[in-house]
Chain A
Amino acid sequence: MSTRFYNDDNPSKILLMLANLGSAVIFLLKILAHLGNLKLHQEDIFHQIWKITLHSLGIIALSGFFVGSIMAIQFSLQLKEFAALSLLGGLATSGTIRELGPLLIAFMLSGRVGAYTTSELGTMKVTDQIDAIRCLGADPIKEIIFPRFIGIICASFFLLIFGVFTSIFGGMTAAALLLQLSPQEYLREIPRFLNLYSILLSLFKVFVFSFCLAWISTYIGYHTEGGALGVGKNVVKTAALSLSVIVFADWVTSLVSESIQLLFS
């Protein structure tokens, strides 16, 4: 018999997954039960929003800028052929807002905020801090999970809006430097391509993605076991799971939004 340094006494992967899903749903309901006393947690939530926003502002600015310029360059190749470069700003911006913006920001956040949240909560769990909260008469879901959950969702909105502005700026810069298109020309056509529907859709997507991210990272962090090694494992788990869930959620929301659009047109 060989020595095993890992644990694989899992009875059945599917059963385990279902059990996990069930407990994740119960966990979510316990978090949402505190929605009634948002006011009570105001200070904590603001603190979390501030922390998360500050933590990710730089990376979002950088990636927003480059996504905007990549979109502008890509669209310019086709628009040049039709001599329709004046439409560039509008097309690149609406493309970013509708699709790439929310997805990219969610990716960035799952790498940063998701991983950070899981490692922070996981460390609290394996060093008995969460049990200590219970012993000192408090509910850890209310004290530490709820503010983070709401914080992640709210901060994502700010970061999306911020990211979209930097992407417009990135596209504008690329257009000016590479295509000699003036900023005025770049910005002029944006209103024509951007309707309320696509803005709302974008906000809705960000809500769905950040909701998934908040749920996954807090659930996995809160249920960490097995010391420092367990924390490391769970950070990886959060990153992998949240990326796949976000892509899946993007597919679902795109599908649903297409059908809604068809219905009304």
Chain B
Amino acid sequence: MNNQKQTNPSPSPIISFLQVRKSFGNNVVLKNVTLDIYPGEIIFIIGRSGSGKSVLLKHLVGLIRPDSGDIFFKAQNLSHLKENEFFPIRQKVGLIFQQPALFDSLTVYENVAFGLQRLQKRSGKELEDQINKVLATLAISDLKNRKPNTLSFGQQKRVAIARTIALNPEVLLFDEPTTGLDPVATTVVNGLIASLSRKMKTTSVVVSHDMHSAFTIADRIVILHEGEVLVGGTPAEIKQCSHPLVQEFIKEV
């Protein structure tokens, strides 16, 4: 039995990347990524522009398939699943894209309703309540009937976050959630990620350039560089790391 619970709980990972490799033509984006992510943690993935952070996240919902290597979600190997076999995975793993990716023919309300109606077959009062609750959480209730093209970028990002968290997935993948948000909205989103993790035991994987957010809410920070995980550790450990690239990233905080 595990008696060291208070010092270092090491449950089995909810997500594992095992020697994942992905290239587009001659462009090798992920060379050899091995990474474990544990249930309930908030893990930040940091890396230069073009280092493959978005590509890494898209593997988890089957939008991109690896060339080789394995990806496990709760002991299920995702690397060879077919498109329709990903539907149950997408109920449990929600991706918030780097661009807002809102449906421009639908209102904010309808955008948030889209997944709830399809993935969870919700309708009527139950659907309405859930949407209103999420819109309130992100302070965008007043935008309910607007179309995405009438919103600012930051507002669109928050609608996109609302659309995915409305589904209460077990794992949330955030691709630069606070880029383009004002400081107040950034604090709201960071607080949301933290509280989802604490209250709902949601696992959050956050891709970000925002080291300040990382040091505020991350349980663990991983740096992706040249297609591999360069270093990983708690915020305190990362601060101690002497690698020049790591220093470059944390310099500004």
Contacts and interface: CB of A to CB of B under 8 A. Distances in A.
Interface of A: 9, 127-129, 131-138
Given A128-B97, A129-B101, A129-B102, A137 B118 contact: yes
Interface in B79-94: 83, 86-87, 90-91, 94
A7 to B, nearest CB: 10
A137 B119 contact: yes
A132 B103 contact: yes
A133 B115 CA distance: 8
A135 B103 contact: no
B114 A136 contact: yes
A35 B222 CA distance: 48
A135 B114 contact: no
Interface of B: 25, 58, 61-63, 83, 86-87, 90-91, 94-95, 97-99, 101-104, 114-115, 118-119, 163-164, 167
B99 A136 contact: no
Nearest to B54: A128
A133 B119 CA distance: 11
A127 B148 CA distance: 13
B63 A135 contact: yes
Contacts of B91: 137
A127 B102 CA distance: 8
A70 B102 CA distance: 47
A132 B163 CA distance: 10
B163 A134 contact: no
Nearest to B63: A131
Contacts of B25: 9
A128 B101 contact: yes
Contacts of A137: 87, 90-91, 115, 118-119
A132 B175 CA distance: 13
A11 B25 CA distance: 12
B119 A136 contact: yes
A107 B119 CA distance: 41
B130 to A, nearest CB: 14
A212 B87 CA distance: 32
B45 to A, nearest CB: 18
Given A9-B25, A131-B63, A136 B101 contact: no
A102 to B, nearest CB: 31
Nearest to B98: A128
Nearest to A136: B115
A134 B63 contact: yes
A134 to B, nearest CB: 7
A132 B90 contact: no
A31 to B, nearest CB: 15
Nearest to A128: B101
A135 B111 CA distance: 13
Contact of B90 (A9, A127, A129, A135): A135
B179 to A, nearest CB: 15
A134 B118 CA distance: 10
B121 to A, nearest CB: 9
